[in-house]
Amino acid sequence: MSDLLPTAPESFPDEATSFALAGPAGKLETITDVAPRECARAGVAVVCHPHPLQGGTMHNKVVTMVERALRESGLDTVRFNFRGVGESAGEYDEGRGESEDLAAVVEWVRRTRPNDKLWLAGFSFGSYVAFRNAVRLHADALVTIAPPAGRWDFSNIEIPACPWLIVQGEEDEVVDPEAVFAWIESLPVEPTLVRMPETGHFFHRRLMDLRGAVKHAVLEWLPAVRHA
């Protein structure tokens, strides 16, 4: 862990800030950012990144675009590197330890913003981690981009009752789109599904379309306006 990262602040920063948050396996490299004042809502979105062993980090382009879309919608945001990624301590743990990393981040968010709504979001493996913890962490909304149904076992995960967006590219070369669509049809709830034609797993040349899709889909779910 770099000594250059300060420890987690006791209050949510009022500008983009990087710091080291205490996690179950050691420090977690974390970045927060804040929504434009004119559209700020009383909510925080925590965004999870793709698979640590396949190059996934909080700086992934899809992750940063989802973060941007949610921030432009009025939510303050948190991104962090799972254990063993970047400056975060620890080793990859097949989703189990990463779930505890997410829980530690959420605990800090709830401590610094106790009255805010909590949104969870993720891309690929990150969407699996966000989904499997949505009920446990009492998420108020869930955003999952290219959830890896068929690659990870989703069968025993408790289904959240909160508003839920799924965005899936129809030409995804990593996650089988048909497996995702079949999984969605089997759910006891009906999440909001955005199918993006001519779109691969990493949304090449479609990142701005992803931004627009997320902003449009979550518009009706946004928390109340944040008062200064």
Looking at the DSSP bridge assignments, the partners of residue 165 are: 143, 192
Q: Write out pLDDT tens, residues 66-95.
A: 999 999 999 999 999 999 999 999 999 999
In percent, the amount of the chain with pLDDT more than 90 equals: 96
Sorting pLDDT into bands at 50, 70 and 90, what band is 3? Answer: low
Confidence check: pLDDT of 198 > 60: yes
pLDDT mean across residues, the chain = 96
Q: Write out pLDDT tens, residues 14-26.
A: 999 999 999 999 9
Instruction: Write out the E strands in 37-87.
Output: 43-48, 76-80
Q: Please give the Cα distance from 48 to 25 (Å, whole number).
A: 17
Q: Please give the Cα distance from 137 to 130 (Å, whole number).
A: 9
Mean pLDDT of 25-41: 97
pLDDT of residue 227: 82
Confidence check: pLDDT of 1 > 50: no
Confidence check: pLDDT of 153 > 60: yes
- For residue 35, which of 167, 222, 220 has the smallest C-alpha distance? 222
> 51 is written with which tokens?
């698979």
CB atoms within 10 A of CB 27: 21
Mean pLDDT of 168-195: 97
Sorting pLDDT into bands at 50, 70 and 90, what band is 186? Answer: very high
pLDDT of residue 85: 98
Contacts of 126 (CB under 8 A, 6+ apart): 47, 48, 49, 50, 56, 63
Mean pLDDT of 48-71: 98
Which single residue is written with the structure tokens 């079949």? 182
pTM of this structure = 0.97
Q: Write out pLDDT tens, residues 100-125.
A: 999 999 999 999 999 999 999 999 99
Sorting pLDDT into bands at 50, 70 and 90, what band is 228? Answer: low
Mean pLDDT of 177-203: 97
**Which domains, and CATH codes, for the chain?**
17-221 (3.40.50.1820)
> 121 is written with which tokens?
């979001």
Buried b (16+ CB within 10 A) or exposed e, 47-76: bbbbbbeeebbbebebbbbbbbbbbebbbb
Mean pLDDT of 166-177: 98
Q: How many CA atoms lie within 13 A of 34 on its CB side?
A: 14
